[in-house]
Amino acid sequence: MSKRLADKISIVTGAGSGMGQATTKLFAEEGAKVLAVDISEKNLAQWQGVENVFPFPADLTKIEDIDRIVAETETKFGRLDALCNIAGINDLSYPLEATDDDHWDRVLDLDLKAPFRLMRRAIPFMVKGGGGAVVNIGSYAALRGNHGPSYTAAKAGLSGLTMSIAFSYASKGIRCNIIHPGGMQTNIAENSGGEYHPEGHPRLSNLVRAMPLFCYGEPVEVAYACLFLCSDESTLINGAVLSVDAGMSTC
């Protein structure tokens, strides 16, 4: 039985931890060659010598690093079949009045501008190779607005960006879909650079605990969804919004 991503070339951002780590591992096991992108060289060290994984340190908020990521893919592999925009931070549930411009820009720069820049650079390269699949990682917050304004706006914007690309590039062989995870067992709070806001976080926590099914998912659950959306099993799926949240978005 052939592997589901046999011989496919992929880029996965946020590959050093959490959902990006789980996706990198699963893609490599399923036969893909993965350019594993992360800002932390320490986290990327786990991929040294791992078959099919090529660690690549980069800061996604820097345009020159975006160019380096795609240029490396062009040089090393000659094509790109799948792109998973997974790297991200949240806004630590900062409410509107506590969200200054620096806080807003930090979240939007990584969660929305970086995927936009990477897709702008990578998709024309994918088109030249005959097409491919893009998966963006959004959030349950984009559907319900339960985080602070910066994270909610970034993930809602990413959802709209996904739809625009799905519509505009379908005829060129590009599929673009978005996954909205619910609560996940990741270190996103640590990566987001501080403590949760004392007002915003209890409000979110109380809401989640009151839901009919309260659970935190494992990152591999999102990785399996990425696998499906990047495989040839989903060739008619384009512009889809897939919630991986144990039903949180029904509440």
Residues that are catalytic: 151
Distance CA 52, CA 30 (A): 10
Q: Is residue 158 within a helix (H) or strand (E), and if so which, with residue range?
A: helix 149-169
Cβ-contact 123, 169 below 8 angstroms: yes
Report long-range pairs for 75-79 (Cβ below 8 Å, ≥24 apart).
Answer: 76/35, 77/9, 77/33, 77/35, 78/129, 79/9, 79/125, 79/126, 79/128, 79/129, 79/130
Query: Which of helix, strand or coil describes residue 41?
Result: helix
Cβ-contact 231, 170 below 8 angstroms: no
The Cα-based distances of 180 to 78, 124, 198, 222 in angstroms read: 31, 25, 25, 9
Q: What angle do CA 78, 11, 109 make, to 5 degrees?
A: 125
